[in-house]
Amino acid sequence: MRADDMPLSKEYEPDELEQRWYEWWLKRGLFHAEVDEAKEPFSMVIPPPNVTGSLHMGHALNNTLQDIVCRYKRMRGFNVLWIPGTDHAGIATQNVVERELAKSGIQRKDMTREAFLEKVWEWKSEYGGRIISQLKRLGASCDWSRERFTMDEGLSRAVRCVFVRLYEEGLIYKGKYIINWCPRCHTALSDLEVEHALEKGKLYYVAYPIEGETGFVVVATTRPETILGDVAIAVHPDDPNNSKFVGKRVKVPMVDRIIPVIEDEMVDPSFGTGMVKITPAHDPNDFLVGQRHGLEPIQVIDADGFMNENAGRYRGMSRFQAREAIVKDIEAAGLLVKIEEHEHAVGHCYRCNTVLEPFLSEQWFVRTEPLAKKAIEVVREGKIRWIPERWVNTYYQWMENIRDWCISRQLWWGHRIPAWTCKDCGHITVSEEDPTKCGKCGSGNIVQDEDVLDTWFSSALWPFSTMGWPEDTPELRYFYPTSLLVTGFDIIFFWVARMIMMGLKFMGDVPFKDVYIHALVRDEKGQKMSKSKGNVIDPLDVIAKYGADSLRFTLSSLTVQGRDIYLSTQKIESYRHFMNKIWNAGRFALMNLGGFNLDKSHSIKSEDNLRLHDKWILLRINQVVKETTELLEGYFFGEASRLLYDFVWGELCDWYIEMAKPALKGDEGDRRKTASQQVLGYVFRKTLLLLHPFIPFITEELWHAFGFSVDSIEEEPWPSAEDLFDETTKASIENEMYILQETIRSIRNLRAEANLAPQMVVPHVVFSPTSAEAENIIARNEDMIKFMTKVGHINVNRTRPGHSLVSVLPWGNIYLVVGEIIDIPSEIERLKKERESLLAEEQKSLSKLSNESFLQRAPKEVVEKEQERLKKARERIKRINENIASLEEN
C-alpha cells in the first residue's frame, strides 16, 4: 500500500461522501449477521420508532449511541446483529389516516372496518418507511435484511400466541373497571399513557341536605358535573369532625336522589371538608369504594364526553358546559357554599392532548403482579445491569407498586383481540387460529371482539418476536438474550419493564443483559424542545448543513451518564470544524507520505531516528487506545469522544504534526524523513480506527485515501495498545515532552503579551535554568523550540537581560528580549493602563464577594464565576507587575 496520489478534495464536503459510503456498506453486506458458532454474538434490537414518525433529536441520540456500540463491537471481532423495525403505533397511525380521509370529506365511522384498514395499509406502504431512510442517513448500521414491523405476519403470530397462553393461565382477564378514556381518540389508555399537567381550576363547596333534618353536609369537588352520578358520601373512620354523619342519608343536589353517608379509609380528612362524594362510574378511587360497599355505579358522561340520559335536563351538554350549568343551578338553589381557586393535576391524552375522562368500561387486562415479581428478582440478582445504576430504583418503585395493565384499545388499527363471544351461550373462545364455532356449545354464532391490543403489548415481545419466536429458530438460540438495550428513561415502564416480564415468561431468560438509559436532548438553555417554543433542532436539517458525522460526534461528545444534553447549532458547528481539522490533517499527511510504503507503519520496531516528539506521540496514541477501549466498554460515550477530540486536535494536529514538518520536508535528512513518515502512518492508522465508530463516514473516506486497505475500515480489528517503551522510558518521555511543551507555550504566551505578529522572528530568547536536566532537554530540542516559536537564537544565561518579558517556570526563567523590537515606554504605559482596569475589576469582585447578601442569595454557579473572575484578575495583575519590572530594567 503506497500513498502516491492526493485523492482528497481540498474542501471537506460530507453530503456526497456520506451517501456514497453508506451505499457501499449496504452492497458489501457489512451490517448483515448470520449465526456463526465460531464467533461470540453481540445483539441489539432497535427501540422501534412509530411508523408515523420522522427523525427527531431523541432518535438521533439513541441511534447514534447504538451505532457506536455496534461498529465498535464489530471491530472487536463480535458477530453483531442489530435488528431494526418500526411500531404500528395504533392511536397515532389511526389519527393520521383519519385526518387524511377527512380532507376528502370521509369519516371513519362511514366506512367498514376492512375498508378503513385497507386505507391504513396503503398509507403505511407509501409513508411508513420514511423514518427508516432517515436512520440510514444518520449512518445506522442495522441489518436491514431483518427489518421487522410490529404487525407483520410473524410478529402478529407471536402476539396471538402470547395472548392465548396468558389467558389460559388466568393472567389475562376481561372485567369492568374505571379506565382512562380519551373522548377524542375513543380509546382506553393505560395509566402510563396519561400526561398529567398542573392546571388552575376551582374547588366547589356544595351543600347536600340531610334527609329528615334541617342541616347539611358540605362536600368539596373539582367536578360538579359528576354530582349527577353520586351514590354516597364518605368520611374517614377516624375523622372526629364528620363521623357523626355516618349512617345518615342526604339528598343529591339537582337530582334529589337519596344516598347514604358511609365511612372508608380512602378518604383524606385534610382535603376540603373531609367529606367526599362517591361517584363510582367516574373516578377510579370511588369505583373501588363502590365495590367495597356494594354501591351501584351511575354513569352520566358518555364516550364522547357528553352528558347522557342519566343526566336529566343536562343531557346533550358537553361535560364542561354541564359544569357551568350545574354550578349556576346549585347556586340558584342556595346550595353553593363557596368557590376556591385550586391547582390540581389534570390527565391528558398523550396523543391528542384532550382532557381524559375516567370511564367505567369493560376492558381486557393483564394480571401483572406475578409477572412483575420475577422481573424484580432478576434485577436484584444482577442478571440485568442498569447504566446509570440509579435508574434501577425507579424500576423497583414502579414494579413494586404495579397495577393490572389495561391492554384493550377501542381502535381498528392494531392487533385485534383474538377472542370470540358466543351469542347463544355467552362463552368466550380465545384462540391462536380464527375459530368457526363456540368452544363450549359448538354454535357457529360467534363474534370477534371489536377492540385491538395496546401497542405496547406487541412491543413487549420485540427482543424475541423479531428473531422468529414462537418458532425455535437458530437466531433465538444464538442471539438471545440480546446484549444491550439503549433507550430513554421515559419508557422504562412502558417498554423496558414489560419486555423483562415477557422475556422471562416466554423465553425463561432476561431479554437483555445491559440497559443503557440515555438522557433528554434539550436546547442550549436546558428547555425541552417543542414546536410551540420554536426551539426544535431538526436532525435532518443539521445533517444537510453539517453532515451526519458532525451531528453524531456532537451528540456523543455531549453525552454524560445521567445528565441531559444541552444542544445548540453552535456546538454542532464547532464539531463540524473538528471534521475539517481531521480532513486537513489527513490531506497534510497524504501530501507528506507520497511514495511511502504504509505497510511499514503498521508497527514500530525500532527507536532509531526517532526524536522526543515522535516517541511522545507513539506513547500517547497507545495510551489513548487503552483509555478509549475502557471507556467504550463502560458505555462512557462522552468521555471517549472528548478524549479523542483532545488527542486529535490538541496533541496530534497542534503539536505532533507541527513538530514533524521539518523532518517531513527533508530538513532533518532522509532517515528522519522516513522515520517521521513511519510514525505519522502508524498514528493516523490507529487514530482513524478509534474514531470510526463515532464518525464512520469521514474515517472510511480517509482510510481508503491512505490506502490502508481495500476493505472497509470496520472490517479491520480494533487497535491494540502496544507497549513500545518500558515504564522508565515512558516516564522520561512524558517528563521531557512536558518541559519542552511548556517552554514553547511560555515563549508563545510572551509573544502574545508583547503583541508580536505571528510571522515575526524574535532575535533571541534567554533561558536562565535552575535544572541541569531541563537545560539538556532544551539544548537537545533547540531547533524545535526555535521552529515552533519563531525565535532566532536561544541563549543560556543566568543573568537577567534588560528590556525583556519574563515567564517563570519550575526549571528556570524564560526571557523574551524585546528592547529592539517594541517601543518599551509605550508598552509599559499600555500595561499600566491594563493594570488599572484590572485593579478596578478586582475591587468590584471583592465588593461582591464580601457582601453577605450576595453570597446567600446568588446561585452557587454565579458566586463561583465571580470567584474565578477575581482569581484571573489577580493572576493577570501579577503577570503585568512582573513584565513592567522586567521591561524597566536596562
With a CB cutoff of 8 Å and minimum separation 6, the contacts of 73 are 42, 80
Concatenating the DSSP letter of every residue in 742-759 gives HHHHHHHHHHHHTT--TT
To which H or E segment does residue 554 belong? helix 548-558
- Cα 796 to Cα 39, 751, 860, distances in angstroms: 62, 19, 48
Task: Specify the residue for cell string 459510503.
Answer: 21
d(CA 42, CA 39): 9
d(CA 406, CA 131): 29
d(CA 753, CA 744): 14
The three three-digit cell numbers of residue 767, written as one number: 533561558
3-state secondary structure of 337: strand
Concatenating the DSSP letter of every residue in 71-122 gives HHHHHTT-EEEEE-EEB--HHHHHHHHHHHHHTTT--GGGS-HHHHHHHHHH
Q: Could you tell me if residue 569 is left (phi over 0), alpha (psi between -120 and 50 degrees) or otherwise beta?
A: alpha
> By C-alpha distance, which of 555, 728, 718 is closest to 630?
718
With a CB cutoff of 8 Å and minimum separation 6, the contacts of 825 are none
- Cα 123 to Cα 106, 130, 238, distances in angstroms: 15, 11, 59
Report residue 47: phi and psi, to 5°: -60, 110
Q: Are the C-beta atoms of residues 511 and 464 closer than 8 Å to each other?
A: yes
Beta bridge partners of 187: 182
- Quick count: other Cβ atoms within 10 Å of Cβ 309? 10
d(CA 549, CA 697): 7
**For the packed helices 130-138 and 14-28, what is the interaxial angle rounded to 10 degrees?**
110
Side-chain-facing half-sphere of 488: CA atoms under 13 Å: 18
The three three-digit cell numbers of residue 173, written as one number: 382477564
Find the length of the chain: 890
Task: Specify the residue for cell string 454565579.
Answer: 862
Residue 531 assigned as binding residue: yes
Strand order in the sheet with 812-817: 791-796, 762-769, 812-817, 804-809
> By C-alpha distance, which of 182, 203, 187 is closest to 348?
182
- Cα 18 to Cα 68, 457, 550, distances in angstroms: 16, 37, 11
Q: Are the C-beta atoms of residues 119 and 56 closer than 8 Å to each other?
A: no
Q: Are the C-beta atoms of residues 704 and 580 closer than 8 Å to each other?
A: no
Task: Give me the helices (H) in 480-547, please.
Answer: 498-507, 539-546
With a CB cutoff of 8 Å and minimum separation 6, the contacts of 623 are 721
The three three-digit cell numbers of residue 105, written as one number: 370529506
Q: Are the C-beta atoms of residues 715 and 728 closer than 8 Å to each other?
A: no
Question: Is the preceding peptide bond at 49 cis, omega within 30 degrees of 0?
Answer: no
Helix, strand, coil distribution of the chain in percent, nearest 5 = 50, 20, 30
Task: Specify the residue for cell string 358466543.
Answer: 422
Residues of each annotated binding site for ATP: 531
Residues of each annotated binding site: 531
